[in-house]
Amino acid sequence: MFKSITLGQYYQTDSILHRLDPRVKLSATLLYIVALFVVNSFPGYLFAGIFLVCMIRLSHVPFSYMVRGMKAILFLLLLTMTFNLFLTPGEPLVQFWKLTITREGLSTAIMMAVRLSFLVIGSSLMTLTTTPTQLTDAMEAMMNPFKRIHMPVHEIAMMMSIALRFIPILMEETDKIMKAQMARGADFDSKNLMKKIQSMIPLLVPLFVSAFRRANDLAMAMEARCYRGGEGRTKMKPLVYQGRDRIAYVILFAFFAACIAFRATSHMVPFPLGALS
Amino acid sequence: MSLTIEDISFTYETGTAMQVTALDHISAEIPDNQFIGLIGHTGSGKSTLVQMLNGLLKPTSGRILYKGADIHADNFDRKNLRAKVGLVFQYPEHQLFEADVISDVMFGPKNLGLSQEECQRRAHAALRSVGMDKKFYEKSPFDLSGGEKRRVAIAGVLAMHPEILILDEPTAGLDPRGRDEILGLISEMKNRMNMTIILVSHSMDDVAEYVDRIMVMNRSHLVYDDTPARVFTHYRELEEMGLSAPQVTYIMQYLKEQGLPVSTEIFTLEEAAAEILAHRRELHV
Ligand SMILES: Nc1ncnc2c1ncn2[C@@H]1O[C@H](COP(=O)(O)OP(=O)(O)OP(=O)(O)O)[C@@H](O)[C@H]1O
Ligand SMILES: [Mg+2]
């Protein structure tokens, strides 16, 4: 029942994107997000969209997985669109009751929707092709310069990787406890809000107990293996850039440069809607 | 006929790379008042199968009938079914949540909408039948030992008065003494309460002594479904599945191969001793 959440979940398969260095993928995602705010014209978004579709094809992850991540933000998406649609001042297009849709409003709404969707799909693409462990490795490596200013980079990365590791475990546990309580007649789909809150107690208490037990076991196991923080710690699989990673960086910067070029040559109206009026 | 399993299959995470077929075209009948052992190697689909029986999981194909009615029909009362088919999960002690033992056991009956007195009466009876003393009733379930917690969890399902009681690996993680206690308890309950019990395990030694019927699962298939004696004649095939016949069966088999005409349909130490003693004469020649 929790398996439908894909945002932040890894999809196991073999593809060039899966084999890419996680640092490349992390930088690519950040750069892509920035690029989405750099471009501001229809051709620019088309270009960013084509780039995204190519990456999805390269990743061998079924497209339906990307769309499932979208479900989580559907509400936010609709809300943003509605506000932009009705509240942007400008040249009126359609008018009914007290609401006015302006040309600028329609144009901004579409632009926001496109940006937000690309942003979410782009970041799910990274998490779908990168294991949480690889991701935190990449973060640790990329935050390394901050060690100079005494930022506990290793500790932050370790905490993140543990937290990420525990998400699927706790989800599985939730599923199990829910089933066990349902076998005792518990009702989790009650429509009544009060009852719904009450029905959470038999789920949450065992879940917390189990989370603390696991945390305790893990701490013990780490101590038993003499873990004492990042000082002088080496890695079994250190991150090393390969040829393909360098090529990926080149493609990435070319993409970003193209986005800047689109920006420089565009007019300010993102979607030319002249045909509509 | 209480439960009928009609050609069910089940797949986890259909349509993804992690797709697993956990059950593959399984059919069986679960009659009243029978003690059944469900055996299989790790990952063979035992837990998945038992979750089908009380409607927690819905088969991808096939049907499950309770007294002739399809349990996934729209108008079927699945909550009532869960009272009739009691399921004790693997490591059931992880589901305890109340402040004291007695309230935890009363959780099931309360969900059935029974009165406070009736819930209490049932909880007391259930705790008594799992051998938990009155002095535990007010204790926090989190302060009990592992074996005691498990008994309380079993009582929590018993208090719903199921017709069929399913126990998923009730001996997992217990020491030999705790194991014998739980198994003894279950077989005693079976005799006293006339219910059908399905005991899930991956050890033949656990179930051989007690059960009337053994169902063997292997890689999501139901491969044998017969009396213990007849299932154990396949001990070579069982070994290939990572299972084995009870240890005494091997001894009897060996003795027979060595020329002692003993019966090989023997699964308990006592029977084995008696059988060997009965052939004492031949032993000396
Ligand atoms: N929630 C789940 N999601 C995905 N796959 C699952 C899930 N639960 C079980 N499986 C898979 O289904 C198969 C059967 O699992 P099941 O739990 O029924 O086995 P089992 O016979 O009970 O094993 P064990 O003796 O270890 O308890 C296994 O291959 C398992 O990996
Ligand atoms: Mg199991």
Per the CB < 8 A criterion, the answer to whether B34 and B226 are in contact is no
Best of B84, B91, B95 to mutate (most A CBs within 10 Å, chain A): B95
Residue A148 identity: R
Query: Domain segments of chain B: what residues?
Result: 31-58+74-226
Question: Above 90 in pLDDT, residue B247?
Answer: no
Do the strands B196-201 and B164-168 form a parallel or antiparallel pair, or are they unpaired? parallel
Q: State the distance from the centre of ligand 1 to the C-alpha of B117, rounded, in angstroms.
A: 39
For residues B159 and A268, what is the distance between their CA atoms, to the nearest angstrom? 71
Residue A42 identity: F
Q: Does the CB of B48 have a partner CB in chain A at under 8 Å?
A: no
Q: Does the CB of B150 have a partner CB in chain A at under 8 Å?
A: no
List C-alpha distances in Å: B205 to A277, B228, B230, B238.
Answer: 82, 11, 15, 13
| pLDDT class of A217 with cuts at 50, 70, 90 | very high
Question: Above 70 in pLDDT, residue B34?
Answer: yes
Fill in the DSSP letter of residue B203.
Answer: -
Helix locations, chain A, DSSP H: 16-19, 22-38, 42-59, 63-71, 74-87, 103-129, 132-143, 153-183, 193-224, 243-265
Atom of ligand 1 nearest to the CA of B40: 21
List C-alpha distances in Å: B110 to A146, A162, B79, B131, B160.
Answer: 57, 38, 12, 22, 9
User: ipTM for the complex?
Assistant: 0.85
For residue B99, the chain A residue with the least C-alpha distance is A205
Chain A residue numbers with beta carbons less than 8 Å from the beta carbon of B160 are: 184-185
CB contact under 8 A, A177 and B94: yes
CB contact under 8 A, B107 and A202: yes
In three-state secondary structure terms, A72 is coil
- Beta-carbon contacts of residue B32 (< 8 Å; ≥ 6 apart): B1, B2, B163, B196
pLDDT one-digit tens code per residue, B190-213 = 888 889 999 999 888 878 888 899
pLDDT of amino acid A267 = 63
Question: Please, what is the average pLDDT of chain B?
Answer: 89
N residues, chain A: 277
Question: Above 90 in pLDDT, residue B115?
Answer: yes
* Ion ligand 2 residue ranges (Cβ < 5 Å): B 47
CB contact under 8 A, A182 and B17: no
Fill in the DSSP letter of residue B134.
Answer: G
Best of B97, B142, B143 to mutate (most A CBs within 10 Å, chain A): B97
Give the orientation angle of helix B146-158 with respect to helix B176-193, to 10 degrees. 20
Nearest to B95 among A3, A13, A181 (CB): A181
Question: Above 90 in pLDDT, residue A258?
Answer: yes
pLDDT of amino acid B17 = 66
pLDDT of amino acid B259 = 83
Q: State the distance from the centre of ligand 1 to the C-alpha of B21, rounded, in angstroms.
A: 9
Q: What Rg value do the Cα atoms of chain A yield, rounded?
A: 23
Give backbone dihedrals phi and psi of A226, rounded to 5 degrees, phi first. Answer: 65, 35
Query: Domain segments of chain A: what residues?
Result: 2-276
For residues A150 and A145, what is the distance between their CA atoms, to the nearest angstrom? 10
Burial level of B220, CB count in 10 A (0-12/13-18/19+)?
buried
Chain B residue numbers with beta carbons less than 8 Å from the beta carbon of A176 are: 89, 94
| pLDDT class of A6 with cuts at 50, 70, 90 | very low
Q: Give the fold, CATH level 3, of B31-58+74-226.
A: Rossmann fold (3.40.50)
Chain B residue numbers with beta carbons less than 8 Å from the beta carbon of A180 are: 89, 92, 94-95
| pLDDT class of A7 with cuts at 50, 70, 90 | very low
Q: Which residue has the higher pLDDT, B122 or B19?
A: B122
CB contact under 8 A, B107 and A186: yes
- Chain B nearest-CA distance from A13, in A, is 7
Chain B residue numbers with beta carbons less than 8 Å from the beta carbon of A214 are: none
C-alpha torsion angle, residues B240, B243, B247, B248 (rounded to 10): -80
For residues A124 and A178, what is the distance between their CA atoms, to the nearest angstrom? 28
Q: Which residues of B42-56 are buried (b: 16+ CB within 10 A; e: fewer)?
A: eebbbbbbbbbbbbb
CB of B40 shorter than 6 A to ligand 1: yes
| pLDDT class of A272 with cuts at 50, 70, 90 | low
Chain A residues with CB within 8 Å of chain B CB: 3, 11-13, 176-177, 179-187, 201-202, 205-206, 209-210
In three-state secondary structure terms, A27 is helix
Query: Bridge-partner residues for A102, per DSSP?
Result: A92
Residue nearest to atom 25 of ligand 1 (CA): B42
Q: Does the CB of B107 have a partner CB in chain A at under 8 Å?
A: yes
Work out how many CB contacts closer than 8 A connect A with B.
63
pLDDT of amino acid A101 = 82
CB of B13 shorter than 6 A to ligand 1: yes
Fill in the DSSP letter of residue A150.
Answer: T
pLDDT one-digit tens code per residue, B131-147 = 888 999 999 999 998 88
List C-alpha distances in Å: B177 to A13, A27, B173, B180, B183.
Answer: 46, 58, 11, 5, 10
Q: Which residues of B19-31 are buried (b: 16+ CB within 10 A; e: fewer)?
A: eebbbeebebebe
Lowest average pLDDT, out of A16-20, A65-69, A82-86, B250-254, goes to: A65-69
| Mean pLDDT in residue range A8-23 | 86
Nearest of A272, A27, A228 to residue A141 by alpha carbon: A27
For residues A155 and A161, what is the distance between their CA atoms, to the nearest angstrom? 10
